[in-house]
Amino acid sequence: MNELLNQLSECIEFGKINKAAPFPPQMKGQEGADEITRKLLEANVTAQEILNDGLMPGMEKVGIKFRENKIFVPQVLMSAKAMSTAMVHLKPYFASGQVKQKGTFIIGTVLGDLHDIGKNLVAMMIEGNGYKVVDLGTDVSAEKYIEALKENPGAVVGLSALLTTTMVNMAQITQDIKTISPNTIVTIGGAPVSDDFRIKIGADNYSPDPQGLVDFLNAQIA
Ligand code: B12
């Protein structure tokens, strides 16, 4: 069974969605995340094992290679697609509580900002590392973040901004969350923001890339 889990991990690492998918060329004709996840479940491997020993190790490699500029956005998107294909089979086990996740992460792109490619990459990477992700989408107001926090007490909140003009909204949203819930951890990211900006607005963490956030979240629960 370890062999199948290793194969699944490789499918995530290299973005092999299913047998019919032509990408990546070196895996053409081989089974992908879709078929292998189904086979594992049929062989009574638990969803928890599939997550921990197949999906997470693959996604971890993706995060590290992306951080080191060894792969780029299109490859990460293929890995994310392979992962979400596997996740479709595991979702019922998550919903029934059979799979223990590390924690909950709420993410959204802040009010006024419609850019979501980076935010989606972050969401997939966090999910692939074993967290429940609540994705609020784009153009998200403080009220929506706070509502999601009430539904998911103890969750970490992630804010994304791509426009310099929406950085001010990121500051306001951080302040509003901290006023209502001072212990909530707020983490920020996006091209125009920096660690200096994080300090200025009173957020808890800034990461330039998804892997930095994975490391930060894992350190919180260690
Ligand atoms: C694609 C794009 C668009 C698409 C967005 C599609 C979509 N679904 O997202 C469209 C065409 C809709 C668009 C619209 C606009 N855009 Co635009 N867009 C871009 C572009 C080309 C790429 C952004 C992107 O996706 N990058 C790839 C992702 C993977 O990178 P990323 O978002 O930075 O995310 C990474 C990190 O930042 C980090 N990260 C991101 N979020 C988070 C969150 C957390 C918690 C963490 C830890 C990390 C993290 O992790 C990601 C992976 O490493 C950039 C230019 C550029 N090259 O960056 C301009 C850019 C961002 N856009 C710009 C502008 C001006 C606009 C418009 C105002 C244009 C207009 N006049 O209408 C509108 C604004 C619409 C709105 N209200 O939001 C400017 C912003 C300038 C500025 N300084 O503010 C840029 C920089 C282009 C430019 N050079 O002028 N845009």
* Burial class of residue 103, CB neighbours in 10 A (0-12, 13-18, 19+): middle
Q: Is residue 28 scored above 90 in pLDDT?
A: yes
Phi, psi (5° rounding) for residue 165? -70, -20
**Helix, strand or coil, per DSSP, at residue 157:** strand
Pocket test for ligand 1, best of 76, 115, 204 (most atoms within 8 A of CB): 115
Tell me the per-residue pLDDT of 160-209, one tens digit each, with 9 for 90 and over.
999 999 999 999 999 999 999 999 999 999 999 999 999 999 999 999 99
Q: Quick one: tokens of 158?
A: 């992630």
Task: Report the C-alpha gap between 137 and 217 in whole angstroms.
Answer: 21
* Burial class of residue 199, CB neighbours in 10 A (0-12, 13-18, 19+): exposed
Query: Burial code of 62-100, b = ≥16 C-beta within 10 A, e = fewer?
Result: bbebbbeeebeeebbebbbbbbebbbebbeebbeeeebe
Task: Report the C-alpha gap between 28 and 30 in whole angstroms.
Answer: 6
Q: How far is the CA of 145 from the centre of ligand 1 (A)?
A: 21
Evaluate if pTM is beyond 0.85. Answer: yes
Q: How far is the CA of 135 from the centre of ligand 1 (A)?
A: 18
Task: Report the C-alpha gap between 191 and 169 in whole angstroms.
Answer: 15
Tell me the per-residue pLDDT of 37-72, one tens digit each, with 9 for 90 and over.
999 999 999 999 999 999 999 999 999 999 999 999
Tell me the per-residue pLDDT of 138-149, one tens digit each, with 9 for 90 and over.
999 999 999 999
Q: Half-sphere exposure (CA, 13 Å, Cβ side) for 187?
A: 25
Pocket test for ligand 1, best of 162, 215, 217 (most atoms within 8 A of CB): 162
Strands of the sheet with 186-189, listed across from one edge: 132-135, 104-109, 156-160, 186-189, 205-206
Residue among 108, 98, 17, 9 nearest 61 (CA): 9
The answer to whether 51 touches 99, Cβ cutoff 8 Å, is yes
The answer to whether 174 touches 186, Cβ cutoff 8 Å, is yes
Q: How far is the CA of 113 from the centre of ligand 1 (A)?
A: 9
Which ligand 1 atom minimizes the distance to the CA of 138?
78
User: What residues flank ligand 1, with Cβ below 6 Å?
Assistant: 73, 112-119, 121-122, 158, 160, 162-165, 187-192, 207, 209-210, 213
